[in-house]
Amino acid sequence: MFTTSLLRGLYENGYRFLGLEALSDTLINDRKFPTIKSGYYVKEPQMANLIREALEMGFTLFEYEATDGKNGKEREIEQAENIKKIIDENPNSKFLIHCGYDHVMEGTPKIKRWEKAMAGRLKEITNKNPFTIDQVTYTEKGDLKFTNPVIELVNSASSVVLIDEKGSLFNGLLNTEQVDCQIIHPITKYSNNRPDWLSLSKERKKYSIPKSKIKEYPVLALAYKDNEYEHEGIPVDIVEILNKEEIPKLMLPAGKYQILIKNKMYEIVSIYTLTIK
């Protein structure tokens, strides 16, 4: 979601290529939307929305994951080499690269047998210093007792970057050679069991499934972009509705949708179209 929120500003500043570790889809730039076969993590709606919105803006997407069976040091090297190939083919372009876990580390990663993580390898083989951003360390944990106290100390309602009096970016309390910048995300607030960040700064609209569309409980309500469900697309949003007293709202950007209602056996019990303005 945070990366999605940056896309428009990055595009306006000349970024045109988006590399995703999660992506495994050579047809994505022609099809213009992800499918359930586009990658394991891509099946999660917000990851799919990141891809969908980047394509709508005009980004060219590319995959860079290593070949099956590669892990550890070999994987980090191959990922970096795959990215370098795209950079070499587009020497005057700007690149946004979205990776998982510690692949963003420029210094010595936690897993020592890697020797260097993908970002460190990329820096080495391109002779270019990437601007690396970590948004994991200062993100809330599933159990708040494990959440870093810096988040509560900052106490911000939005994601922030700290800058000291010399203009230097905050990049950690322990090992400041790992990344250039660490994002501090706020503690999530919930409304009707839905996280506040789903609104994408109010760009997405709340939509409640009419009770008349629900004949039994519990159900899943899935919102697909028009013409994507038939082609194995990923829902823009999904909610589980347990009873008629509490119906959580779908969070949807403007557009035409197919709304599917599925019962607990995952059978479709209702389909209808919807336009969000």
Distance of CA 120 to the CA centre of its chain: 22
Please enumerate in sequence order all residues whose Cβ is within 8 A of that of 234, keeping only pairs 6 or more positions apart, or say none: 33, 34, 35, 36, 38, 42, 43, 44, 45, 48, 228
Q: For residue 118, what are its two tokens?
A: 């993908």
Domains in the chain with CATH codes = 2-132 (3.40.50), 133-187 (no CATH), 200-276 (2.60.40)
pLDDT digits (tens, 9 = 90+) for 116-162: 999 999 999 999 999 999 999 999 999 989 999 999 999 999 999 99
- How far, in Å, CA of 99 to CA of 179, rounded? 13
pLDDT tens digits, 47-67: 999 999 999 999 999 999 999
Say if residue 173's pLDDT is above 90: no
d(CA 145, CA 210): 38
Predicted model pTM: 0.94
CA dihedral 150, 153, 156, 159 (to 10 degrees): -10
Residue 150's CB: how many other CB atoms inside 10 A?
15
Cβ atoms 187, 116 nearer than 8 A: no
Q: Identify the burial level of 27 via C-beta atoms within 10 angstroms of its C-beta, where 0-12 means exposed, 13-18 middle and 19 or more buried.
A: exposed
Q: Largest Cα–Cα distance of the chain, in whole Å?
A: 62
Residues in the chain: 277
